[in-house]
Structure 1
Amino acid sequence: MSVGFFQVPVPQNEPVKEYRTGSDERAKLKAALAEATSKTVDIPMYIGAEEVRTELQQQLIAPHNRHQVLGHYHEGDQTHVEQAITAALNAKEAWANLSWEHRASVFLKAAELLAGPYRYKINVATMLGQSKNAYQAEIDSACELIDFLRFNVHYMTEIYSQQPRSSAGVWNRQEYRPLEGFVFALTPFNFTAIAGNLPTAPALMGNTVVWKPATQQIYSAKVIMDVLKEAGLPDGVINLIYVDGPLAGEVIFKHPDFGGIHFTGSTGVFQQIWKTIGENIHLYKSYPRIVGETGGKDFVLVHESADPKTVATALIRGAFEYQGQKCSAASRAYLPTTLWEQIREYMLADLQSIKMGSVEDFRNFVNAVIDERAFDKITSYITNAKNDPTVEIIAGGNFDKTDGFFVEPTVLLASDPQYVTMCEEIFGPVLTVYLYHPDNFEDTIQLVDQTSPYALTGAVFAKDRYAIELVTKKLANAAGNFYINDKPTGAVVGQQPFGGARASGTNDKAGSLLNLLRWVSPRTIKENLVPPTDFRYPFLAEE
């Protein structure tokens, strides 16, 4: 057998295509959109080597055109969860024993497929199924997922290279084994890249996975599976099922071979999962790894030394890109009274130029929220704000679900810093502003820290370096990803590892070595090269 210390390709962030008017990529994306909208897709579950179809087929609808049927997926039941677990366990030994470089090759090839022949397919699936505009889809489903795959391979080699010291006559070494059992990946609707990373990160480290995506993301999940299969991922390593969440949990969290969960979703769901795992801890062979990124109530704190135009641009992009459906979206802003009028004028000018509508019209900055349930939740906050004398609607406030689930970018001005939209995660295009007197800047820092249970992202805007340092230190635990003079969204793999603490999750930093460490169980090996032949120690000698 040939052996070598292999070096993987040095990862680089995938360049983001801009889809400018007249560009080749714009023409190709539009052609892919036309092809996708001319047909409907049939989406099976993928369990072991089987494409599983059931009698219960459910429609997939475009959020921006609720009359447009994109396809149908085959909904599973408890038996399919059990089959997926069995398939994962059956595939475990061969996959875990496969040389690491061959595991790496599968995911490196998947990255190249996404960068090339599948780029427009994955972007179109994300645009149509999750109502993302072309640029947001490019950043997410193409570039970020490619980055996850490439950088994770690199991080894997860094982990494997971390070895203990050896003393004279001894060779110490450390293996990084996959976890015992299977890993459950439970993924959200809002980022195709997250949906791809949550099952592939554990799989890269030798684990086998049961993957349940959010229903609204099934369309692009199928493309991910198509890519992985073409890249040579063996059957049973990642098993994709479409089953009701509580039903899946009823089977998975009682299984003795449950080894861990990789989760992105709501704080409430994650806390319930944690509680269930705790109640069932006596059932498991090992203590399961619990890795989760949950909600956020992300802040922008502006000092009076900040540039108003810069702040306005950051708030528009940070709050309203992808309709505010990012766990990192700017949701509450603390602005000094001395800058408010300028920031307001800039924001209103920008909002007046923003177009809202279908993803197929590339002039639209804002598209639809994900579904009717989200629409109703978001608009209830807006309706209540309209009827509250302590709140002023600065911009937006209109919504319509006749043809699609459209909510205007909405800016609220709250006189109470504890008003509900300053505290609760809305997950929609609603930004609430609170004005403070510049003399109360330090009190406002404390207000930012104590208002929300979350600690995912946050930003400070200032030219005054003393103010920047003060905020950075005082808000050390208020955000896992902290931005200085930048919007609190848009973390890049390899540059800003992502995750928060408090009610925002376990802060295991997707897109870094830290996350991959959670999917291994190290074994330390000591080999004594010159073993002793006498039990006696020198101190036992006669005087």
Structure 2
Amino acid sequence: MNETDTKVFPAPSHWIDGKAVPASGDLIDVTDPATGKVIAQVPAGTAADVDTAVEAALAAFPAWSATSPEERATVLQRVADLMRERAEDIATTISAEMGAPISLARNAQAALPVLATEVSIAAAADFPWTEEIANSLIVREPIGVVGAITPWNFPLQQLVTKVVPALLAGNTVVLKPSEVAPLSARIFAEITTDAGLPDGVLNLVNGTGPVVGEAISGHPKIDMISFTGSTAAGKKITVAAAANVKRVALELGGKAAHIILPDADLEEAVVRGLSYAWINGGQACGAWSRMLVPAELHDRAVEILREAAANYTVGDPTDPATIIGPLASETQRQRVESYIEKGIADGATLIVGGPGRPDGLDTGAYVKPTIFANVDPYSVIAQEEIFGPVLMVIPYVDDDEAVEIANSTIYGLSAAIAGEPEHAMAIARRLRVGQVDVNHADLNFLAPFGGYKQSGNGRELGHEGLAEFLETKAIGR
């Protein structure tokens, strides 16, 4: 029996002012994408629910903002400790709500939020809350009530990278998780109350983007919006927020280029590149979805990819042997399949995968992990974010062409380079993206994360991630 069949989720409710607030209207089904079964429900929140949450956040703000950074860090450390204690519950919940293979759910979806929280606490410890510039005292103060709108692909990690810095900075928060994967957010809300976060400091309102997300974005008493999701949705949020001139921080789409230089270890770079293209089923804004290889090495790279792809087990996300599970929803499955069909129609060479469900998986939101070769760098599949396990192999002639191709999309979130270190660093400086991975760099949650161009604005993580949630006051003396 699948563990989801016996797992019990809370009754439909929001989390406002430190407690569950039962649903009073319509409900939204939460579906296990591996089976298509409804596993839970959450409220279809309304603008009135947002108003209630905002009033709770406003009431809690004076006392919480008056606490010291050290006091706030103590509470958030207890949150990290409780997330660690509930790691298995979090992992199985995320696996059930959005299809992450259980091994990935344990090692990334549940583990990384703990690490990100503790690194944010460390960043707060040496953050310049005040400083002297000539005869002025520079004071950094909480901005107020923050509206956080988070996605379904890494539901707890993306929540933590917004909510934890916002709380460390002394703000209160109204959170709307994705209605596709809202259940891990409820666990987080419960944890914050158990950790001693005062009532009203964090409030969770479930619902859809067009209703709850829009109400948060345009609410006159919310001072800032922090959003992660699609570029199209980010544009709508920016317009809604403009009426009140509220601050907006956006982490949007990506189309990362992985440039393999002629002086790289080709086999190592290609194998690693595939793992980063297909991580979380390719449902990651930083997925290395475009593999740029020297034209003379293209065919050899394709051979390596064909062999490596055979190791990616597709199947039941509760099976520890599964590497790629279902996509997060049937809607997402159809979207990704349409891009695969478009790639074939536009003349890309299909190497692995293709349209249709994987063999033996006749139900659930499964697609065949797919690799295209000889891809036109300006074709639809090479320019638009697919958000699924689809890798494009693009040949290039020289460094200049590789840089031109890498920079050719509307996105500028991330990129990767494999090659001789000095050569790779020279290329990295030419890329119009917010972060570049050179030769598989270690994960660094102290470094700022964010994008150029239509990948968004603002930064998350580290000192800059804290600064996003602060106002700056200069006091001349």
TM-score, length-scaled by structure 2? 0.93
1:146 counterpart (114, 126, 133) = 114
Q: Count how many residue pairs are aligned between Structure 1 and Structure 2.
A: 472
Q: State yes or no: 1:189 paired with 2:149.
A: no
1:335 counterpart (293, 297, 302) = 293
Change (3 A) 1:49 1:442: closer
1:493 counterpart (442, 445, 449) = 445
- The aligned amino acid for 1:337 is A
Q: CA deviation at 1:39?
A: 3.4
| 2:263 equivalent in structure 1 | 305
Q: State yes or no: 1:513 paired with 2:463.
A: yes
Structure 2, unpaired ranges of 5+: none
Taking the aligned partners of 1:92 and 1:224, their CA distance within structure 2 comes to 20
Q: CA deviation at 1:80?
A: 0.5
Q: Is the partner of 1:362 in helix, strand or coil?
A: coil
- The aligned amino acid for 1:106 is V
| 2:340 equivalent in structure 1 | 382
Q: CA deviation at 1:153?
A: 2.1
| 1:84 equivalent in structure 2 | 53
| 1:13 equivalent in structure 2 | none
Taking the aligned partners of 1:162 and 1:295, their CA distance within structure 2 comes to 34
1:57 counterpart (11, 27, 41) = 27
2:234 counterpart (265, 270, 286) = 270
Taking the aligned partners of 2:223 and 2:211, their CA distance within structure 1 comes to 18
Q: Is the partner of 2:440 in helix, strand or coil?
A: coil
Q: CA deviation at 1:73?
A: 1.5
| 2:87 equivalent in structure 1 | 119
Change (3 A) 1:522 1:507: closer
Q: How does 1:448-527 map to 2 (within 5 A)?
A: 448-449=406-407, 451-463=408-420, 465=421, 467-475=423-431, 478-486=432-440, 491-494=443-446, 496-508=447-459, 510-525=460-475
- The aligned amino acid for 1:315 is G
2:180 counterpart (193, 207, 216) = 216
Q: Provide Cα deviations, 1:354-377, integer angstroms capped at 9, x if missing partner.
A: 210111111111101111111111
Q: Provide Cα deviations, 1:184-221, integer angstroms capped at 9, x if missing partner.
A: 00001111211223223212211111100101221111
Q: Is the partner of 1:356 in helix, strand or coil?
A: coil
Q: State yes or no: 1:392 paired with 2:342.
A: no
Taking the aligned partners of 1:158 and 1:38, their CA distance within structure 2 comes to 42
Taking the aligned partners of 2:130 and 2:287, their CA distance within structure 1 comes to 36
Q: Provide Cα deviations, 1:519-543, integer angstroms capped at 9, x if missing partner.
A: 112334456xxxxxxxxxxxxxxxx
Q: Is contact 2:4–2:39 with CA below 8 Å preserved after alignment?
A: no
Taking the aligned partners of 1:112 and 1:267, their CA distance within structure 2 comes to 34
Question: Percent sequence identity over matched residues?
Answer: 26
Change (3 A) 1:102 1:208: same
Q: CA deviation at 1:165?
A: 5.1
Q: Is contact 2:425–2:438 with CA below 8 Å preserved after alignment?
A: no
Taking the aligned partners of 1:473 and 1:118, their CA distance within structure 2 comes to 41
Taking the aligned partners of 1:405 and 1:73, their CA distance within structure 2 comes to 21
Change (3 A) 1:456 1:35: closer
| 2:219 equivalent in structure 1 | 255
Taking the aligned partners of 1:213 and 1:506, their CA distance within structure 2 comes to 20
- The aligned amino acid for 1:406 is Y
Q: Is the partner of 1:327 in helix, strand or coil?
A: coil
| 1:135 equivalent in structure 2 | 103
Change (3 A) 1:471 1:46: same
1:42 counterpart (11, 14, 27) = 11
| 1:407 equivalent in structure 2 | 367
Q: Is the partner of 2:377 in helix, strand or coil?
A: coil
Q: CA deviation at 1:473?
A: 2.8
Q: How does 1:201-240 map to 2 (within 5 A)?
A: 201-240=165-204
Q: Is contact 2:28–2:42 with CA below 8 Å preserved after alignment?
A: yes
Q: Is contact 1:320–1:429 with CA below 8 Å preserved after alignment?
A: yes
Q: Is contact 1:196–1:221 with CA below 8 Å preserved after alignment?
A: no
- The aligned amino acid for 2:454 is A
Q: Is the partner of 2:203 in helix, strand or coil?
A: strand
- The aligned amino acid for 2:293 is L
Q: CA RMSD in A?
A: 2.3
Change (3 A) 1:497 1:40: same
Q: Provide Cα deviations, 1:467-501, integer angstroms capped at 9, x if missing partner.
A: 324312322xx2211012238xx84412x432211
Q: Is contact 2:214–2:240 with CA below 8 Å preserved after alignment?
A: no
Q: CA deviation at 1:352?
A: 1.5
Taking the aligned partners of 1:455 and 1:413, their CA distance within structure 2 comes to 23
Q: Provide Cα deviations, 1:282-340, integer angstroms capped at 9, x if missing partner.
A: xxxxx422111100011011222221211221222111111100000011121113222
| 2:70 equivalent in structure 1 | 101
Taking the aligned partners of 1:113 and 1:382, their CA distance within structure 2 comes to 42
- The aligned amino acid for 1:340 is H
Q: Is the partner of 1:149 in helix, strand or coil?
A: helix
Change (3 A) 1:66 1:259: same
Q: CA deviation at 1:398?
A: 4.0
Q: Is contact 1:311–1:343 with CA below 8 Å preserved after alignment?
A: no
TM-score, length-scaled by structure 1? 0.82
- The aligned amino acid for 1:363 is A
Q: Provide Cα deviations, 1:247-294, integer angstroms capped at 9, x if missing partner.
A: 23443344332210111111111122212322x14xxxxx42211110
Structure 1, unpaired ranges of 5+: 1-29, 282-286, 528-543
Q: CA deviation at 1:512?
A: 0.8
Change (3 A) 1:57 1:397: same
Q: Is the partner of 1:246 in helix, strand or coil?
A: helix
Q: Is the partner of 1:42 in helix, strand or coil?
A: coil
Q: Provide Cα deviations, 1:220-245, integer angstroms capped at 9, x if missing partner.
A: 11111121111011111111001222
Taking the aligned partners of 2:384 and 2:290, their CA distance within structure 1 comes to 10
Taking the aligned partners of 1:459 and 1:62, their CA distance within structure 2 comes to 33
- The aligned amino acid for 1:360 is T
Q: Is contact 1:43–1:222 with CA below 8 Å preserved after alignment?
A: no
Q: Provide Cα deviations, 1:39-74, integer angstroms capped at 9, x if missing partner.
A: 34424101114422224233211111213x322222
Taking the aligned partners of 1:362 and 1:151, their CA distance within structure 2 comes to 28
- The aligned amino acid for 2:173 is V
Q: Is contact 1:298–1:329 with CA below 8 Å preserved after alignment?
A: yes
Larger CA Rg, structure 1 vs 2:
1
Taking the aligned partners of 2:375 and 2:216, their CA distance within structure 1 comes to 47
